[in-house]
Structure 1
């Protein structure tokens, strides 16, 4: 991704700078953030989601980390304009804190999100097992697939994205997948550079990264590639649960499916495992998916 006013040689650093929000000196619990330029000129949904979570996290008591969020994308954002984040403190209990965050441009919300934070506590412990799939070193990266394609979106996916993505079975950037009629896929993902040792930041970056791929199973099941002429896609709502600590600069495996598509909308679901096989997060996202007749 191209840095605001700079080059794209450090995509992870550019994302970290965009996520470094500025507090409003006059208004408590109000913050401002910048956007990374996108090929379509619209704010990337994962970015504003991560920024909203970080804004909420800066208002909770120390030691409480996000365990869930539920957000609605209300309007497309302009990537050339700053975004304001207004946090409402809904509740601070003995173990949990709840926050509502509005992301605003031109005094109208582009995202409305509720998030919940919890202190670390003991409890019942179990989780699904990670499926057996080829390791990331055995799978082609987006750069391997798209590195020679001269197109702005190919350049974004292969070179400017802050995350290295490796699809199982292969990606559907340029051609459909004829071998996955149910739309299931697994994706290895890892930040292209180191990330500071801040668990709130790593959880926010997981929200950032997943928005790139959450609706891909819908396209895969429909037999459509990203390169479908006239394709129109946009995130509508996003739900996310963090189960355990996560590091986005280590390999993560997304196992994805799509239970339904109808009325110009499709639902994507994902389980996220770390490289040791621990289930670290569960995600669901519904989006607008429109293709020409």
Structure 2
């Protein structure tokens, strides 16, 4: 007579296997799970590779803005032969802003290297950093064409407003990814990236906050209103409620409901908001649809997560 295996023992074996297999074979395990469930991939590798899309964008925008050239000169090995960005150029910056943006650019080089030292990564995707690309973002934010079209490279204020568009999105992505990560190495990396991305966003917001009442010419719209419009646009595109706030907010929305100044974004407990890769794609593609490339990524973002959504149109 064949030996009988109790349901209790089977349950214990299944439980142990589910706990041990991901540790022994993380990539294989997660790949099989996601193929079987037909869900978007979210293994540590996938979640660490996805932010490369934004790190490439930030590196090129900051390097070109401060130096007039980008990764192809500064760190060509990191591009892996990916196409050069469209329309990126040197910005007319004052000495302080140029110094800060140059530091940001080199910080992004380090971020790319750190991620690629941990996971395989992918070549630089095609990026559209042209004046027309940023003008389209601003037109969407205001619900009408700005005349003349917004030029991010025209002066320091314009460049800082354009910079306001970028790092915060990556910041919220790292906040959202952190609790999903499985191992300590991944969590350490994301914590380190999040710290510097948060710092960059804080510096940009602080610089703009000083000029919050300044009228941006020739539009006769204040700096604060620009930031509010950009934040509202990202909320609308992300499609997941309030996760973004401008520099000046209603008092009840400020820290502890006591201030209208909003130099850092946070929820009711002043904690950073999280975003999923799906929400981020909706924002960076500019159309609110993670399946349809556009915006800063005319051919779409790279990595398994982004390509999953492109394939499920």
TM class, shorter-length: under 0.3
Which structure has the larger Rg over C-alpha atoms? 2
Which structure dedicates a bigger proportion of its chain to strand? Answer: 1
Given the two structures, how large is their TM-score scaled by the length of structure 1? Answer: 0.26
Which structure dedicates a bigger proportion of its chain to helix? Answer: 2
